[in-house]
Amino acid sequence: MGYAGRILRVDLTKGKTRFEPVDMKRARDFIGGRGLGISYLLEEVNPECDPMSPENKLIMMTGPLTGTLAPTGARYMVTTKSPLSGGVTCSNSGGEFPAMLKRTGIDGIILEGASSRPVYLYVEEDRAELRSADQLWGKDTHQTDDLLKQETGREARVACIGPAGERGVLFAAVMNDKDRAAGRSGVGAVMGSKRLKAVVAKGNRKVPLHDEKQFASIVKEYRDRFKEAYKDTPPPLRTYGTAGAVGVTNRTGVFPAYNFRQGIFDDWEKIAGARLTEEYLVKPKACFSCPIACGRVTRISKGPFRGRGEGPEYESIFSLGSACGVSDLAAITKANYICNEMGMDTISMGATIACAMEMFDQGILDEKVIGRPLPFGDAEGMVDMCGKTALKQGFGEHLALGSLRLAKMYGHPELAMVSKGQELAAYDPRGAKGLGLAYATSPIGASHMRGHTAYIEVFGTPMRIDGWTWEDKPQLVKDWQDVFAVMDAAGICVFFAIRNLVTQTRDIRPEGIMRLLNAATGAEWDVEGLARAGERIFNAERLFLLRAGFGAKDDTLPPRFTSEPMPAGPAKGQVCELDRMLPVYYKVRGWDKEGRPTKGKLKELGLA
């Protein structure tokens, strides 16, 4: 239980759909969500295939807690081979769509082949069909959502791509509920290559639970604890959104500015969460079954950047703001709207523009190549480049390749702030060295959400440790990566889980997640077994990477972080000692010196 027990398989080439049962042993071994996604991908997709070819598959998978009343039980994963990195990826999203997908009576969808014409997939409990999307092709994500609800019912929930996905922008996103993004690594480009415009879900089935009474009791316990903690004041994430992190990261010297040239931004207050709340917030917004409500419904009612939508989140404020030297919050918010409507990852979009700005600053690019001046701090230029990238117009066609390909094109790959071809998130690894190791070893390329040690190195959750030390980070990173895999597989949001469902010590243990999963599924995991399942998921992703041609040579960071000391701020003089951490990390993981899981480790995890 906790599982619907069925997978929907869709052959886009033949235009056929069929339901098939979930192998419950596979489900126990890999939990769900991210775990089931990599299990199917590793078994069914050649890691050497072209990511944009029909041979690649796009897998949308929920977890056993998705669609339940577990706090933040609203997540699903989109797993595929990434066109941005050439390796594995799995992008996470919340909102309402994941729960509705589960309530159609399926745990996930495996999309294979490619349609000869634009189509969308309609799923309603015991039926699934492919329908023409000719009338939707070229529409943005908001227009597509509205049109499909008119056609299928207001209660339906939609995940779709925008023009960026249709045109093959390498960091195109799959957007659901208009503004929620499975954003990273180009999952939207893969969906576009399959000529699949959208997935529409509509269902009323209740998620079956092993012990409903016990599950309800555990849910009440955690919700009551949450309410008690915030009985006198709302949660900071509800008040300021994730943008509330700007002040903390700037004070600790890890808030990236000017394409990571430095870790502090002088104008940080102009783009911080308090300013966003004061100037543009209409109301907070929650995902399904979420007590936090960190989402931002915002409006810009005057000036050249008028608009309404959701966001920006902290990562978008960094990438479209400080990374580009832009302190105009209205411009950042407008660029965020464009990315959502066109269907693009804001992190890669902003970071790629920042890379171009640095090349312009150094004279590597000029006005003739770009079509306009593009210096750091150019708010209008930043917004303009977002729209041009989505449509691959002018210089936007180069930006659509991501920062590494852009920088290589002009002979300066060292100016792309990436690992495995994917742009870093909003934490400078010179001041949070555990996160630097996590970036370098993340299976999807640089990602803070594959073991977000900034929680403990920067924010002090569940406790504070020194972000400048490196000797203690290999074991810490390994443990956090495994537990983050558990969260992604279970179908819950890290914002609630990390504060409420793991033990409040440095030794992160998924005790609360285990209690919810056992009541939902009856699987009777113990804490060690559940953490081991997370380790199994992480190692399965590593196997896909290795078979795709990756190895220790790719567990890297740009030289800016490893050999250029932080120039100013609290972390002044620091570098990320990745070369010292990696050998210890490999040993802790049970990998050899080339970053390959040993035969003994694979046997131990049941992956041999």
3-state SS assignment for residue 579: helix
pLDDT one-digit tens code per residue, 75-126: 999 999 999 999 999 999 999 999 999 999 999 999 999 999 999 999 999 9
Rounded Cα distance between 449 and 439, Å, is: 9
* Cβ neighbour number for residue 565 with a 10 Å cutoff: 10
Tokens found for residue 425 = 């998130």
Contact 326, 320 (CB under 8 A): yes
Rounded to whole angstroms, the Cα distance separating 228 from 225 reads: 5
Q: What's the pLDDT tens digit per position in 243-258?
A: 999 999 999 999 999 9
Strands 119-124 and 196-201, by their bridges, are parallel
Burial 90-108 (b: 16+ CB within 10 A, else e): bbbbbbbbbbbbbbbbbbb
Q: Residue 321 corresponds to which amino acid?
A: G
Q: How many residues does the chain have?
A: 608
Label the pairing between strands 58-62 and 76-81.
Answer: antiparallel
Residue 504 has pLDDT above 90, yes or no: no
Of 3.30.300.30, 1.10.599.10, 3.10.180.10, 1.10.357.10, which CATH number belongs to 423-605?
1.10.599.10
Q: Same CATH topology for 6-201 and 233-416? A: no
CATH number for 6-201 (one of 2.60.120.10, 3.60.9.10, 1.10.1060.10, 3.40.640.10): it is: 3.60.9.10
Phi, psi angle pair for 301, to nearest 5°: -100, -5
For 267-281, letters b (16+ CB in 10 Å) and e give bbebbbbebbbeebb
Beta bridge partners of 175: 160, 181
Give the C-alpha separation, 67 to 505, whole Å.
Answer: 29
Task: Average the pLDDT over 503-530 and give the result.
Answer: 92
* In CATH, 233-416 is 1.10.569.10: yes
Q: Tell me the average pLDDT across 226-245.
A: 95
Look at residue 229 and tell me whether its pLDDT is greater than 90. Answer: yes
pLDDT tens digits for range 332-362: 999 999 999 999 999 999 999 999 999 999 9
Coil, strand or helix at 477? helix
pLDDT digits (tens, 9 = 90+) for 392-425: 999 999 999 999 999 999 999 999 999 999 999 9
Task: Retrieve residue 88's tokens.
Answer: 């594995």
**What pLDDT shows up at residue 608?**
87
**pLDDT single digits (tens) 159-218:** 999 999 999 999 999 999 999 999 999 999 999 999 999 999 999 999 999 999 999 999
Pairing assessment for the beta strands 157-160 and 127-132 based on DSSP bridges = unpaired
Domain boundaries, given as residue ranges, for the chain: 6-201, 233-416, 423-605
* 508 pLDDT higher than 90: no
Residue 469 burial (CB count, 10 A): 12
